[in-house]
């Protein structure tokens, strides 16, 4: 294990302020660990070009273009698994978890092409904030086995590196993402929202709270307006991302 290296780099990040210096020290850390490739990326939506959201990266020649051209982001098992992961994980573990996925054959083709480009295996570390998944740090290349303790330290590196680079390169976006969520729900709205997240209907919530269906709908409309949600399902999704419910 190289726990000391990770601890030293984490401390060093607090002292560095120049992007090029930060990237150079990070690449030195990865070289010492044996990772040839990496990327630190803001979380893309399905319609966005991931390359436009890369804060820094080092990939095999031709792989990013191939990845974009074939729209692998839609079926990439590491990206799909990110929706469920709260901590870092190994690339191949995400593929194993997709046994019943209808796109598994296409996932297999993507993994084969990745290996042909020198991406045999690696790790991905999510960066979460008050607004949900904000970005990722991924490292890979040749097979490297990380100890669970190293995984935990790499998660810390991912978070600090992401915010450091974002603050330098995209200060306005960084400020917006880091800002506190100024949202106030009433006690009744929180109760209704919690029951909605449990899958209850308006009628069931009304009975639980001993109020009318119309009152429940009034609360729901207020919740959607405050969250700027398109519908009730969207309201629940946003509430989980914002940490209002768990």
What are the tens digits of pLDDT across the range 40-55? Answer: 999 866 566 777 889 9
From residue 239, alpha-carbon distances to 35, 60, 63, 83, 98 in Å are 37, 38, 36, 15, 27
Q: Which has more confidence, 237 or 137?
A: 137
Helices 187-197 + 232-241 axis angle, to 10: 100
If one counts every other C-beta atom within 10 angstroms of the C-beta of residue 40, the result is 24
> Which has the closest alpha carbon to 236: 204, 190, 184, 186?
190
Give 131-153 as a DSSP string: TEEEEEEEEEES--PPPHHHHHH
Output phi, psi for 42, to 5 deg. -70, 145
Return the structure tokens found at 111.
């993994």
All structural domains of the chain: 3-178 (3.30.450.80), 187-241 (1.10.10.10)
pLDDT at 174: 84
Q: Which has more confidence, 125 or 181?
A: 125
Alpha helix stretches (DSSP H) within 74-197: 77-82, 91-96, 104-116, 148-169, 171-178, 187-197
pLDDT at 205: 94
Beta strand pairing call for 37-42 and 89-90: unpaired
Give the pTM.
0.76
Residue 246 pLDDT > 70: no
Q: In what order do the strands lie in the sheet with 121-129?
A: 54-58, 37-42, 132-141, 121-129, 89-90
Return the structure tokens found at 115.
């290996």
Q: What is the pLDDT of residues 208-217, one digit of tens each?
A: 999 999 999 9
Long-range pairs of 156-161 with CB within 8 A, sequence gap ≥ 24? 156/6, 156/10, 157/6, 157/9, 157/10, 157/13, 157/29, 157/125, 158/40, 158/88, 158/125, 158/126, 158/127, 159/127, 160/10, 160/13, 160/14, 161/13, 161/22, 161/26, 161/40, 161/137
How far apart are alpha carbons 233 and 53 in whole angstroms?
27
For the ranges 3-12, 22-31, 132-141, 169-178, the one whose mean pLDDT is highest: 22-31
Asked if 84 contacts 78 with a C-beta cutoff of 8 angstroms, the reply is: no
């Amino acid at each position: 294990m190289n726990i000391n290296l990770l601890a030293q780099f984490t401390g060093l990040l607090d002292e560095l302020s120049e992007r090029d210096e930060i990237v150079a020290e990070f690449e030195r850390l990865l070289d010492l660990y044996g990772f040839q490739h990496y990327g630190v990326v803001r979380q893309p939506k399905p319609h966005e070009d991931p390359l436009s959201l890369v804060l820094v990266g080092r990939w095999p020649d031709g792989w990013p273009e191939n990845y974009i051209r074939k729209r692998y982001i839609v079926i990439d098992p590491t990206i799909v698994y990110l929706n469920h992961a709260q901590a870092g994980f190994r690339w191949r573990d995400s593929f194993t978890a997709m046994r019943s996925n209808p796109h598994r054959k296409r996932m297999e083709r993507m993994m084969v092409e990745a290996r042909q480009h020198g991406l045999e295996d690696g790790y991905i570390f999510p960066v979460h904030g008050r607004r949900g998944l904000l970005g990722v740090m991924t490292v890979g290349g040749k097979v490297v086995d990380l100890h669970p303790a190293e995984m935990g330290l790499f998660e810390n590196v991912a978070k600090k590196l992401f915010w450091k680079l974002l603050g330098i390169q995209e200060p306005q976006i960084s400020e917006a993402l880091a800002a506190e969520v100024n949202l106030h729900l009433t006690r009744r709205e929180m109760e209704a929202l919690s029951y909605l997240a449990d899958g209850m209907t308006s009628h069931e919530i009304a009975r639980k709270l001993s109020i009318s269906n119309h009152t429940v709908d009034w609360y729901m409309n207020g919740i959607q307006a405050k969250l700027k949600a398109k519908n009730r399902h969207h309201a629940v999704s946003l509430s989980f991302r914002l940490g209002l419910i768990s």
